[in-house]
Homo-oligomer: A and B are copies of this chain.
Amino acid sequence: MNVLAVDIGGTHYRVALVNQTGTILSVQRAPVRREAGAAELLQRLLPQILAVSGQAVEPVQAVGIGFGGPVDFRQQRVMRSLHVAGWDGFSFRDWLRPHLDVPLVVDNDGNVGALGEYRFGAGRGSTDMVYYTVSTGVGGGIVLDGQIRRGMHSQAGELGHVPLLPSGPLCTCGARGCLEALCSGPALARQALDLIEGGSCTSILTLRFQEQKTLTARDVFACAHEGDPRAVELLQRARHWFSSAVRAVVRTIDPDTVVVGGGVGTAPGFLDGIEAAVNEHPLLADAPRVAVKAAALGDDSVLLGAAAMAMVLHPPLGAQS
């Protein structure tokens, strides 16, 4: 069985043909032009879907889409996009049906990435898994016994918006001190800039800022690697917040595995000590019980999760024989 998988992110989107073992047979990638809105993206996406679908030796059985924004799963409609105008209430099903009449399923990319890692990545073999993606934003997804936990309002797994610091920095969601406002890439960069502006930074981080006139999370990691004590401290604090957030979720649902992806989440050193901190609770046994692992699929978590979601929609006929 072949399925079509689509990953629509904040900066680019991809369309792929995936077989039932999770192998990407072909893929197309294109940028998201935020200012151009949803209609422009859909105009480019449709011929790409049809082209990739046309390449398939066997007919495409289903389409799975991971969307970078909240999706009402029951209604199978996009709620809204924070990045691009024109998505509110959009139905991929209604849009694609006249052109390719196969079952289609869409969900937000946190849930879909979780399913990808669960089926094909670092979560293979686990039963109940929690997934974080820590990059420009912080997303998440929860897979319980093979099923994505979507919740009563398609709002479960909003793990970037677990509150950690009531008086902390403003989050993209409007609340203060969410995990995303403390540990995302932009949050780390801003914390580094604050240090420099506050004058308390006289080290590698400052030199790099003077060279570049800006800083990214990547710079923070690089400076920490070079031994800059301020950068090291900044990452220690971020790890501390992150482990608090993970502990809150682990105390709540008690999974066997936590998988962490994203540019920040998989940066060298970010996960150091997190597993130990999460398992430190004296009410748990001495040995670590919850495994904390880096995601294994890199940029493909969402694409392969979208494929897995489509496969569940149409279970492989070949597998039954």
Interface segment out of the listed A48-56, A220-228, A275-283: A275-283
Find chain B residues with CB under 8 A from A127 CB: 152
Task: Decide yes or no: A157 and B252 within 8 Å by CB, A166-B240, A247-B163, A281-B174 being known contacts.
Answer: yes
Task: Decide yes or no: A283 and B151 within 8 Å by CB, A142-B252, A251-B161 being known contacts.
Answer: no
The size of the chain A interface, using a CB distance under 8 A, is 40
Question: A158 — nearest CB in chain B belongs to which residue?
Answer: B251
Interface members, chain A 219-263 (any B CB < 8 Å) = 240, 244, 247-249, 251-256
Residue from A153, A248, A281 with most neighbouring chain B CB atoms (10 Å): A248
Find chain B residues with CB under 8 A from A240 CB: 166
Cβ A151 vs Cβ B254 within 8 A: yes
Cβ A281 vs Cβ B173 within 8 A: yes
Given the complex of chains A and B, what is the CA–CA distance between A175 and B243 in angstroms? 13
Given the complex of chains A and B, what is the CA–CA distance between A252 and B144 in angstroms? 13
Given the complex of chains A and B, what is the CA–CA distance between A248 and B157 in angstroms? 10
Cβ B255 vs Cβ A173 within 8 A: no
Cβ A159 vs Cβ B252 within 8 A: yes
Cβ B252 vs Cβ A156 within 8 A: yes
Cβ A161 vs Cβ B249 within 8 A: no
Partner of A156, one of B157, B253, B282: B253
Secondary structure type dominating chain A contacts: loop
Task: Decide yes or no: A255 and B289 within 8 Å by CB, A175-B282, A248-B248, A282-B174 being known contacts.
Answer: no
Judge whether A93 is part of the interface by a CB distance below 8 angstroms. Answer: no
Find chain B residues with CB under 8 A from A142 CB: 252-253
Distance in Å: Cβ of A89 to nearest Cβ of chain B: 13
Judge whether A20 is part of the interface by a CB distance below 8 angstroms. Answer: no
Task: Decide yes or no: A153 and B248 within 8 Å by CB, A174-B281, A282-B173 being known contacts.
Answer: no
Find chain B residues with CB under 8 A from A155 CB: 251, 254, 283-284, 289
Judge whether A41 is part of the interface by a CB distance below 8 angstroms. Answer: no
Question: A240 — nearest CB in chain B belongs to which residue?
Answer: B166
Distance in Å: Cβ of A143 to nearest Cβ of chain B: 12
Judge whether A149 is part of the interface by a CB distance below 8 angstroms. Answer: yes
Distance in Å: Cβ of A313 to nearest Cβ of chain B: 21
- Mark A residues whose CB is within 8 Å of B: 70, 127-128, 142, 144, 149-159, 161-163, 166, 173-175, 240, 244, 247-249, 251-256, 280-284, 289
